[in-house]
Amino acid sequence: MSNDTVTITDNATGKSADLPRIQGSIGRPTVDVRKLAGSTDLFTYDPGFAATASCKSSITYIDGDQGILLHRGYSIEDLAANSNYLEVCHLLLDGELPNQDEFNEFESIIKNHTMVHENIHRFMSGFRYDAHPMAMLSATVAALASFYHDSIDINDEEHRKITAHRLIAKMPTMASYCFKHMRGQPFMSPKNNLSYSENFLHLMFAVPAGDYVPSPTAVRALETILILHADHEQNASTSTVRLAGSSGANPFASIAAGIACLWGPAHGGANEAVMNMLDDIMDTGATIESTIARAKDKSDPFRLMGFGHRVYKNYDPRAACIQKVCHDLLDELGGDQPLFQLARELEEAVLADDYFKERKLFPNVDFYSGIVLRALNIPMSMFTVMFAMSRTVGWIAHWQEMHNDPEFRIGRPQQIYTGETHRPYPKK
Ligand code: SDX
């Protein structure tokens, strides 16, 4: 019996297994169950994988009880206050913050990939006028694979690198095209003399008849939103990218699968759902008390959007960062002060309520991000597109880490079968 093993005994059979006890650099110790079935015939059952590690990773660490989020060891608070999105991209992809020369080189590489093939314009123009931008984005990212047959060999390090650069560079361009298509405005060309966020706001709001020059506060708010959504361990969409990529699928197909997963209201669609919830409260005259009562009512499927988290059982550190950005932005640009005030009152009431305290339900990153995006004049249907644009670097970093992992193998979960046992086909 040693301290670096865990013994599991099946009392029904008396069979037992001494399994490796794995400890990462920080975080919860984990038992490696790969040899459990061989020694005991036992599989493990964990719907939603709430207690199961799917991989080893050095990209991001979350301590949900302490409300800690680290990217390659740097706290999200430090990065949100001092960094910029492309610097965080370099950190997530390469593991280190770039020096000035490395940053300038990385920024120059990204800027050389911001345009898309002219046929992408025609492809995106083919969607119905009211197509949801997430439908357009997921389809278009998957279609990119058809333009880069010469560089999607997943076993080629250089192909993996240029694909990462292409996706980070082209996401703002394609995201803005979703918006322009909805508005019936011409697609704008990227401007490589602008920063990443300035260029995105130009792509979104400039028109051939006139430029768009965003305020520094708006640019900083967008940079912060992008930094805060860049990566988050093995969330549903990142796990989707890993699982899709584990079959050898090309990176565009794997990232498109992640975009599809992020669309769900329980995941990336939550910021849109938060705004719908707040708008409904304003429009229907519902009170905070009646809204909270509905969230507690088990017979009512209503949940408080923007609250709760699978991992954070304390305050989501990103929510605190966004609340400050929200405050500064609305102070300068105006925008939905009543909605922001309602959000703050709702947050205050929830944090004081025992039902939510007992379940450790705190505001998550989505609770305030929608108010910031609305203050930036970004329509609600684009909110999850913004999340996807930011999370692209996290998805790629995990996809690359998986392909460099010596323990990597195709993902294929087991199940507990509860259906009919074998029965003969009835004679006619
Ligand atoms: C993101 O994984 C990530 O990292 C995701 C993300 C990222 O950056 O990638 O952080 C982004 O997805 C943030 C979460 C955004 N989603 C929402 O805001 C939607 C609202 N939240 C819930 O749907 C829910 O909290 C989840 C999905 C986020 C988490 O669900 P869990 O961990 O499975 O929680 P649960 O269903 O086990 O709930 C535990 C209890 C239950 O009550 P009891 O059965 O114990 O009585 O808490 C209740 C739930 O009913 N509960 C809520 C609630 N969330 C959980 N009750 C009211 N409102 C809520 N929002």
300 alpha carbon to ligand 1 midpoint, in Å? Answer: 15
Distance 92 CA to ligand 1 centre (A): 26
Residue 366 is among the residues annotated as catalytic for this protein: yes
**How remote is the CA of residue 48 from the centroid of ligand 1, in Å?**
12
Q: Model confidence over 239-272: pLDDT tens digits?
A: 999 999 999 999 999 999 999 999 998 898 888 8
Beta-sheet pairing, 74-75 with 68-71: antiparallel
Nearest to 378 by CA among 129, 212, 163: 212
How many angstroms is it from 50 CA to the middle of ligand 1?
12
| DSSP 3-state of 207 | strand
Cα three-residue angle 249-250-253, rounded to 5 degrees: 85
Q: pLDDT digit string (tens) for 160-211?
A: 999 999 999 999 999 999 999 999 999 999 999 999 999 999 999 999 999 9
User: Which of 63, 70, 232, 267, when mutated, tests ligand 1's pocket best, judged by the most ligand atoms within 8 Å of its CB?
Assistant: 267
DSSP structural state of residue 49:
G
Q: For residue 62, which atom of ligand 1 is closest to its CA? A: 4
> The tokens of 206 are what?
């400039």
pLDDT level of residue 334 (50, 70, 90 thresholds):
low
Positive or negative: CA dihedral 222, 373, 227, 398: negative
What pLDDT is recorded for position 143?
96
Helix residue ranges per DSSP H, 297-382? 317-333, 337-351, 354-358, 366-375
Query: In which band, very low, low, confident or very high, does the pLDDT at 335 lie, cut at 50, 70 and 90?
Result: low
Percent of the chain whose predicted confidence (pLDDT) is above 90: 84
Mean pLDDT of the chain: 94
Say what the pLDDT of residue 290 is: 94
pLDDT digits (tens, 9 = 90+) for 350-408: 999 999 999 999 898 888 898 899 889 999 999 999 999 999 999 999 999 999 999 99
Active site residue 279: no
| pLDDT at residue number 350 | 93
**Ligand 1 atom closest to Cα of residue 306:** 18
Give how far Cα 153 sits from Cα of 120, 136, 169, 387, Å: 22, 25, 20, 27
> What pLDDT shows up at residue 344?
85
Indicate if the pLDDT at residue 324 is higher than 90. Answer: no
Pocket, ligand 1, Cβ cutoff 6 A: 232, 235, 266-267, 270, 295, 303-311, 359, 361, 364-366
pLDDT of residue 314: 84
For the CA of 310, the nearest atom of ligand 1: 32
Mean pLDDT on 225-251:
97
Instruction: Provide the token pair at 150.
Output: 């010469």
Is the per-residue pLDDT at 1 higher than 80? Answer: no
- Residue 54 above 90 pLDDT? yes
CA-based radius of gyration for the chain: 23
Q: Residue 12 Cα, ligand 1 centroid: separation in angstroms?
A: 36
Distance from C-alpha of 226 to C-alpha of 48, rounded to nearest angstrom: 27
How many angstroms separate the CA atoms of 301 and 286, rounded?
17
Q: Are strands 30-31 and 5-9 parallel, antiparallel or unpaired?
A: unpaired
Q: Are 312 and 364 in contact (CB under 8 A)?
A: yes
Res 337 pLDDT > 80: no
Which is the catalytic residue, given 71, 181, 202, 309?
309
Residue from 181, 202, 366, 398 carrying the catalytic annotation: 366
Does the pLDDT value for residue 333 go beyond 80?
Answer: no
> How many residues make up the chain in this entry?
428
